Amino acid sequence: MNDPNPSRRQFVAGSLAASAAASYSRARGANDRIRVANVGCGRRGLLKELIQLKDSANIEIAAVCDTWRQKREKAAADVKEFTGKDPFQTAHLDGVLARKDIDAVVIATPDHLHCAMLVEAIKAGKDVYVEKPLAMTMRELIRAYDAVKRSDRIVQIGTQMRSYPNSGGAKKMIAAGELGAILKVEQVRNGYSPYWMSYGGQAFFGEKPAEADVEWKEFLGDRKARPFDPAQYQGWYGFREFSRGPHTNLMVHFIDLVHYVTGASIPKRVVALGGTYRWKNEFDNPDSVEVALEYPEGFMARYCTVFGTGAGNYAKWFGARGTLDAKNLSPAQKWVVSGQGSGEPNRVAGEAEVTPVETVHHMQNFLDCVRSRQQPIAPIEAGYAHSVAVIMADDALTTGRRMVYDPARREVHAG
């Protein structure tokens, strides 16, 4: 997903080299080069991360895969420019997975392909970094989760906020009870226009894709066959067949971070409202959503996006002893804890910055774990939990009913 926050891009660029150098020295088998394939070469930036890590992490970008010829060729040219080697190019995942010299694949494709590609990569014996949200339905989620758990493969989910130093600091602080019992967590993440209106090929190349340059069937995957549609192809974020909207594609970062920082599992009840209020056009995803989630650990979470205004963005943890102001979950800003809102005699005194915890860059953590065979910071369990949460939110939004999760049956239903 394209991140509109320039501070994050600056943070990533500035931190990759340092975190890679620190963690690489700790990795087992550091003399063994990892051969990686990048599947999906869009603006998400994972190929850039791999290029930046190529020396310190001792990796070779051996293949690039994308259904749009111009993107694929540009990705290959970038790899050649920065590594001196021509990577293998293909529009088909099968072409990557058939290669015995590929150790790991980095999947940054449209949402509807994540689970299917993860399963196929696991079957082929590859370690996998896969973007979020992991799943759009419980059926595909359970299939992917079980495939990973039956294997010995390393899987990292692309919820990179777990790897922010501030996130680790907040987790440590809350575990120590500095905020007391957590009562509610909130994020409001607004923007003037939906991300799907500017994201994709037209912004990248300045023109729409031509049918002759696109492997349309490969893009559709298991979706119903239809004539080539450039609007759906490059603006897939805005269409429910390929991505559900901000309550799944933006909220997933927030809700995964709630799970990580608080240690919570999966919400037991979820309600949601929303619709299209400002941007009435060919896209069918809502431009505004409001989601409330209740956790069995005894607190609530709330997420809201309104596209039509960029005002009012924030993220906060509310505890019995005080409040953690996580700004807009930016890694470049100081997160602050205070006694704001608490009437407890032992409320937080004054105001203090959250002490960051030394962390490893998210992609570097994955590569380290490929070598060490240890579990990464965002394992398949994290992807399962965040997927259940966003699936519950989407079902609540589309049915108008409260959704509950049955952990014994691994089912989401009205209740």
Residues 320-340: what's their mean pLDDT?
Answer: 95
Average per-residue pLDDT for the chain: 92
Is the per-residue pLDDT at 309 higher than 60?
A: yes
Looking at residue 206, its pLDDT comes to: 62
- Distance from the Cα of residue 63 to its chain's centroid: 22
Instruction: Give how far the C-alpha of residue 216 lies from the chain's centroid of Cα atoms, to the nearest Å.
Output: 24
Q: How far apart are CA 178 and CA 1, in angstroms?
A: 33
pLDDT confidence tier of residue 163, bands split at 50, 70 and 90: very high
CB 328 within 8 A of CB 284: no
The pLDDT, as a whole number, for residue 32 is 86
Residues 6 or more apart whose CB falls under 8 angstroms from that of 315 comprise 185, 186, 187, 188, 189, 254, 325, 326, 327, 328, 329
Exposure string for 54-69, b = 16+ CB within 10 A, e = fewer: bebbbbbbbbbbbbbb
Q: How far is CA 191 from CA 152, 197, 309, in A?
A: 41, 12, 5
Residue 204 in this model has a pLDDT that exceeds 90: no
Mean pLDDT confidence for 147-170? 98
Give the tens place of pLDDT for each residue, 396-407.
Answer: 999 999 999 999
Model pLDDT, residue 205: 52
Q: Tell me the β-bridge partners of 284.
A: none
> What does the alpha-carbon distance between residue 385 and residue 390 come to, in Å, rounded to a whole number?
9
Residue carrying the six token digits 């974020």: 237
Round to whole Å and give the CA distance between 393 and 68.
Answer: 32
**Segment 8-29, tens digit of pLDDT:** 444 444 455 444 444 444 343 4
60 pLDDT exceeds 50? yes
- Tell me the average pLDDT across 242-255: 97
Q: Which residues neighbour 95 within 8 Å (Cβ) at sequence distance 6 or greater?
A: 63, 65, 88
Q: Mean per-residue pLDDT for 137-163? A: 98
Neighbours of 374 (CB within 10 A): 13
Name the least confident of 24-38, 262-276, 294-308, 351-365.
Answer: 24-38
The whole-number average pLDDT for the span 225-238 is: 95
- Do 288 and 276 contact (CB within 8 A), yes or no? yes
* CA angle at 373 for the pair 329 and 103, rounded to the nearest 5°: 90
pLDDT at residue 370, as a whole number: 98
Instruction: Name the nearest CA neighbour of 188 among 302, 294, 287.
Output: 302
Other Cβ atoms less than 10 A from the Cβ of 311: the count is 10
What pLDDT, in 10s, does the model give residues 272-284?
Answer: 999 999 999 999 9
* Per-residue confidence band for 2, with pLDDT thresholds at 50, 70 and 90: very low
Take residue 278 and report the two structure tokens written for it.
Answer: 């400002």
pLDDT at 202: 52
Q: What is the tens place of the pLDDT at every residue in 33-44?
A: 999 999 999 876
CB–CB of 251/393 below 8 Å?
yes
Check if the beta carbon of residue 394 is closer than 8 Å to that of residue 255.
no
Percent of the chain at pLDDT exceeding 70: 90
What angle is formed at CA 11 by the lines to CA 169 and CA 176, rounded to 5 degrees? 5
pLDDT at 31 over 60: no
127 touches 104 (CB < 8 A): yes
pLDDT in the model for residue 88: 98
pLDDT at 110 over 90: yes
- Whether residue 130 has pLDDT greater than 80: yes
Going along the chain from its start, the domains and CATH numbers come out as 6-161+363-379 (3.40.50.720), 163-196+243-356+387-414 (3.30.360.10)
Unique residue bearing structure tokens 């020295």? 25
In this model, does residue 298 exceed pLDDT 50? yes
* Model confidence at 289: pLDDT above 70: yes
Beta strands in 208-298 (DSSP E): 269-275, 288-295
Across 293-311, average pLDDT: 97
SS3 call for 274: strand
> What is the SS3 assignment for 136?
coil
